[in-house]
Structure 1
Amino acid sequence: MKIGIVTPRYPPTHAGGGEISVQLLANQLRSHEAVDGLRVFSFDGSSSETVEGVSVERLYDVPQYPYTLPNEIAYRKLGAEDLDFDLLHAYNMHLHPAVGRLSSERNVPAVGTLNAYPLLNWADIGVTPSLQRRIYESTVLRLERPRLRRQIHNIDLLLPLSGAVERVYRDHGFDRADYRVVPNMLDDDFDVPAAADEEDAPELLYVGYLRDSKGVRYLIDAIEHLSSPLDVKIVGDGPKREDLERRVSEKGLSNRVRFTGEIPYEEVTRSYATADVFVHSGVWPEPFGRTILEAMQAGLPVVATNVGGPAETVQQPDLLCPPEDPVGLAEAIQEAYERRDSIGPANREYVEETYHPDAVVPQFISAYEELV
């Protein structure tokens, strides 16, 4: 099979969770016996290059909003390329309409990974939109949405990262689409350094963006309900950092909560090594959660809210709690801390079996072959 992957960005450009995931997929497909041709088309510059053995064509640097504009640009730029592929794979959401349009016109089958909710009104899925986003949703997006949705419907098979993502899309205008859940794969090269020998205070770890939908304020509130004196390290930055730091100060918890801000990836891995429990306190149906995979690879117990994809990854029901519930979160954290020596190794074994490339890539290949 010859496969073309279309994505808004590709590493090293903005190498966040989505970009890491599409690169992991491309690296695996490049050497797979069923794939005899692979090219990635991204829209984050103008160059032809090889990234870790993968041929990458950066066709243009498109804006993110309004969605019609980058999709029209992508449609025209891709249409000018020699798309001699057996299948197109749209990744990272924003250019799915362009891929659906080309798939229909060129009679080339297409799949689209669902790992975000760009065409939905964010308030409908528990995300507090900025003023700019609210204005966009009520004006331009309201007019754009029907056409963009029709174009996405031309994609033959949608691949949500979790059952939670599929349910959200079915409830918001995509109930007639064909779905197959294929999760993110772990990074087989992910390596956590050995923890230092010195005795540090027991520590909870959060890694992620600091915005309302991440529910970090409920993690801060949960500290007061813990029976064990656990400190908290919050890794990441975002628009709510100042509010969260103020909340910590007002509760007199400054000696127990540390904000690192955004730090290099190597330091993030060291944070996994020194933590005792990883906490994901989100209040919205997050599609997946790559940091949860990393925490499990590091041998940590993971506490999460029972909403979205993370609830499908955490295998211990008593480590899941309702969103926006500091008391429930504290109880789950306490349970995880007390059982960390058994849960941590079990998590590492589980993700190696379930999310290793050897387990996930065949799911992609199976979907490709059925369409081709």
Structure 2
Amino acid sequence: MKLALVTPRYPPTHAGGGEISARLLAEQLHTRDVIDQVVVYSFDGKSTETVGDVPVVRLADVPQYPYTLPNEIAYRKLAAVGLDCDVIHAYNMHLHPAVGRLSDALEIPSIATLNAYPLIDWSDVNVSPSIKRKLYEQTLLRVERPRLLEHMTNIDMFLPLSGAVEQVYRTHGLGTADYEVIPNMLDPSFEVPEVETEETDQVELLYVGYLRDSKGVQYLVDAMDHVPEGIELTIVGDGPEWDALTDRAAGTAASDRIEFTGSVPYEEVTRAYADADVFVHPGVWPEPFGRTILEAMQAGLPVVATDIGGPSETIPQPELLVEPSDLSSLSEGIEYAAANQDRIGRENQRLVEDRYHPDVVVPQFHEIYERILDN
């Protein structure tokens, strides 16, 4: 079987977890006997190279907005290449309409991973759009959306990262599509360094991620005034809410227990996990999955997360699923995690190996590829 993986960006060009997940999938498929060939086609430059033993063809640089333009460019470039494959797998959302259109034109079966909400008005998923994004939604996207969604209906199967993502798309234009939930897989190369720590009553909380209002970090900052003084918080990441969050933290009684590190390279973030005792994911939107949650669980940390979106399907301890934007619930979850961190950390390490190891997740993709070929 020959597979073409189409994605807007591919490492070393990356903006976050989506690109890391695309790399993991391509490299894992490359090592499996059932796949004869995997070729990645991306739109973040113009070159042909090998990344981690996987051929990567970068066909062009495309803009992000308006969506019609990058999809038109991608469609033409991919059609000109003349894809030699049995299945097209679209990843990281923005070019899914182009893949659907191409799948129909070339009569090549296609699947698409759903891991974001670019064609949906962000306010519908509790994300505050920037002024630029809001203007786009109110003008061009309103015109573009029906045709782009129509192209996506040519895709044979959608693979949402969670049931929450499936539900969003079922109610926003793809209600009659075929879905199969396949989660992200853990990164087997992700290793947390050994650190020597002194026995102490201090509890180190950790948040890793983008700083925007939908991530709920403002509630985590506020919750620091409601937890015991022996609890400290490190926030790793950057984003549009940086200034507002640092000002907010400075105004709390717990300001001396809150540290902002800014962005940390992916290769170095493992140190933050090693120094932490509890990971907190306080989002207030239907996060599709949450790769940092897998990383924290791999690191043996309990994870406190809001009971919304993909994270609510990943966290196995009901005591650690808290109400979004509820300071009391969040504080209680943090204190429970801190009191039971060793037991829960061990549970989490076992769970990610059992559910999210590539040996568990990759065969699910194989089964889908075979199914759509048979159909």
TM-score range, shorter chain: over 0.9
Distance 1:115 1:85 in 2: 23
Aligned residue in 1 for 2:293: 292
- Give the secondary-structure state (helix, strand or coil) at the position aligned to 2:154: coil
CA positional deviation for 1:202 = 1.6
Contact 1:306 1:320 in 2 (8 A): yes
Aligned residue in 2 for 1:37: 37
Distance 1:233 1:227 in 2: 16
Contact 2:14 2:20 in 1 (8 A): no
Contact 2:225 2:253 in 1 (8 A): no
Contact 1:160 1:180 in 2 (8 A): yes
**Does residue 1:118 correspond to 2:115, yes or no?**
no
**Does residue 1:358 correspond to 2:359, yes or no?**
yes
Distance 1:327 1:293 in 2: 25
Distance 2:50 2:250 in 1: 49
Distance 2:40 2:266 in 1: 24
**Does residue 1:262 correspond to 2:259, yes or no?**
no
Aligned residue in 1 for 2:8: 8
Cα deviation code 1:46-96 (max 9, x no counterpart):
000000100000000000000000000000000001212110000000000
CA positional deviation for 1:247 = 0.9
Alignment of 1:1-372 (within 5 A): 1-199=1-199, 201-227=202-228, 229-372=230-373
Distance 1:288 1:94 in 2: 17
User: What is the identity, as a one-letter code, of the residue corresponding to 2:184?
Assistant: N
User: What is the identity, as a one-letter code, of the residue corresponding to 1:32?
Assistant: R
Moved more, 99-108 or 260-269: 260-269
User: What is the identity, as a one-letter code, of the residue corresponding to 2:84?
Assistant: D
CA positional deviation for 1:264 = 2.2
Superposed CA RMSD in Å reads 0.9
Moved more, 11-20 or 348-357: 11-20
Instruction: Calculate percent identity across the aligned residue pairs.
Output: 62
Distance 1:136 1:211 in 2: 19
Contact 2:235 2:261 in 1 (8 A): yes
- Give the secondary-structure state (helix, strand or coil) at the position aligned to 2:66: coil
CA positional deviation for 1:225 = 1.5
User: What is the identity, as a one-letter code, of the residue corresponding to 2:254?
Assistant: L
User: What is the identity, as a one-letter code, of the residue corresponding to 1:183?
Assistant: P
Give the number of equivalent residue pairs: 372
Distance 2:206 2:270 in 1: 11
Cα deviation code 1:158-186 (max 9, x no counterpart):
00000000001011111100000000000
Contact 1:305 1:320 in 2 (8 A): yes
Distance 2:196 2:262 in 1: 22
Distance 2:371 2:221 in 1: 48
Distance 2:21 2:329 in 1: 32
Distance 2:249 2:18 in 1: 31
- With normalisation by structure 1, the TM-score equals 0.99
Contact 2:97 2:148 in 1 (8 A): yes
CA positional deviation for 1:227 = 3.5
CA positional deviation for 1:112 = 0.2
Contact 1:166 1:179 in 2 (8 A): yes
CA positional deviation for 1:198 = 3.4
Cα deviation code 1:119-151 (max 9, x no counterpart):
000001000000000000000000000000000
Distance 1:166 1:221 in 2: 32
- Give the secondary-structure state (helix, strand or coil) at the position aligned to 1:265: coil
CA positional deviation for 1:197 = 2.8
Gaps of 5+ in 2: none
Contact 1:228 1:334 in 2 (8 A): no
Distance 2:248 2:46 in 1: 45
CA positional deviation for 1:199 = 4.7
Distance 1:58 1:52 in 2: 15
Distance 1:33 1:163 in 2: 30
Distance 1:341 1:49 in 2: 44
CA positional deviation for 1:226 = 1.3
Gaps of 5+ in 1: none
